[in-house]
């Protein structure tokens, strides 16, 4: 199956304190989730027409270890299953050689214009 690795540098505005998810100046879980979701989204990019996009519909994450501001996080997404318009991923995140997060993620491919018509 397809795989992608992306590299992210932890920014000061991505800490638990700044994002309101905790009391420490370490990578916030919501920021880690965003990195993981972004990696999966980018893995699908070549499979989409210009009229399509993908949207996240499910995420299960274990945030295993703290990561300091300025550190590089390597996120590895692997496509596990593709059915009709649904894609399932395994995602792992590393700070150097240490596993800091892992999880599963599902995305659905949608027609952008049709999806946006659902807004009220």
- Exposed e or buried b for every residue in 21-39, given b needs 16+ CB within 10 A? ebeeebbbbbbbbebbbeb
What does the alpha-carbon distance between residue 39 and residue 41 come to, in Å, rounded to a whole number? 5
pLDDT for the residue numbered 82: 96
| Residues of the chain under the 70 pLDDT cut | none
Q: Which of 25, 97, 91 is nearest to 63 (CA)?
A: 91
Distances (CA, A) of 22 to 10, 30, 66, 108, 113: 16, 10, 12, 30, 37
pLDDT for the residue numbered 46: 94
pLDDT digits (tens, 9 = 90+) for 85-99: 999 999 999 999 899
pLDDT for the residue numbered 49: 96
pLDDT for the residue numbered 97: 85
pLDDT for the residue numbered 74: 98
């Amino acid at each position: 199956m397809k795989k992608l690795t992306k590299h992210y540098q932890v920014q000061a505005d991505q800490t638990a304190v700044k994002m309101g998810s905790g009391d420490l100046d370490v990578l916030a879980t919501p920021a880690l989730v965003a990195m993981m979701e972004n990696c999966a989204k980018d893995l699908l990019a070549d499979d989409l027409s210009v009229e399509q996009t993908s949207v996240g519909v499910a995420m299960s994450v274990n945030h295993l270890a703290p990561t300091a501001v300025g550190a590089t996080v390597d996120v590895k997404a692997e496509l596990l299953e593709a059915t009709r318009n649904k894609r399932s991923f395994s995602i792992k995140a590393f700070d150097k050689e240490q596993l800091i997060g892992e999880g599963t993620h599902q995305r659905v491919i949608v027609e952008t214009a049709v999806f946006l018509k659902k807004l009220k």
